[in-house]
Amino acid sequence: MGKKTIIILSFIVVLFFFSLTPLHVLRIEATRENQTVFLQTIRPGDTFSTGYIHSVELSPVKEYFTIDDNFRIVLYKTTFSSCNTGLPTTLSGDETFFIDEDHFRITNMHRVVPALDLWVNKKYDNTLTLGNGTVLKLPSLAGDTLLRIAVEKMPFFNVLYHKATM
């Protein structure tokens, strides 16, 4: 075999093994349609937040999440403008409650969330803000529907496939 052939075969073998390497991704799926509508690779320490208008209180809510060392979604802070129906009223562990000028805030949370299931609707202004500042208007991804936000481990080729079919 020539040197060029060995280099090409080596490249193909390396590419093949790299393609099997699993990546951790933040995946948003329209569950009713079983369709991936957003996918991004993640690392421990990455952050994101969700925002929406509470359907009963009609007040803004924002929840802040991080990805821990085990690639789990962890709620670490939440802010809201009302303490009524369906909004936080109790603390657990070392959580701290603050009253700011125009909203309430709970910090020092450490609530592991396996996945976020969100009914999104244009009238509730559902957003997902990534740690880099990118804001996604969630209804624009799949319309007014149920979305699941989860961390998944998937092979590189599957990531490419989902990205190509979104």
Query: Does residue 55 or residue 94 have the better pLDDT?
Result: 94
pLDDT band, very low/low/confident/very high, at 34 (cuts 50, 70, 90):
very high
Rounded average pLDDT over 40-46: 96
Residue 136 has pLDDT above 90, yes or no: yes
Position of tokens 């991704």?
A: 25
Q: Which residues pair with 6 in a beta bridge?
A: none
**Tokens of residue 165, six digits:** 């079919």
SS3 of 118-129: the string is EECCHHHCCEEE
Q: What is the CA radius of gyration of the chain?
A: 20
**Tokens of residue 117, six digits:** 């299931």
Task: Summarize pLDDT for 86-100 with one digit per residue, the tens.
Answer: 666 678 889 888 888
**Nearest of 23, 24, 27 to residue 148 by alpha carbon:** 27
Residue 85 has pLDDT above 90, yes or no: no
pLDDT, position 26: 97
Residue 133 has pLDDT above 70, yes or no: yes
Is 120 in contact with 126 (CB distance < 8 Å)? yes
**Cα separation, 125 vs 135, whole angstroms:** 12
CA-based end-to-end distance of the chain = 42
pLDDT, position 130: 96
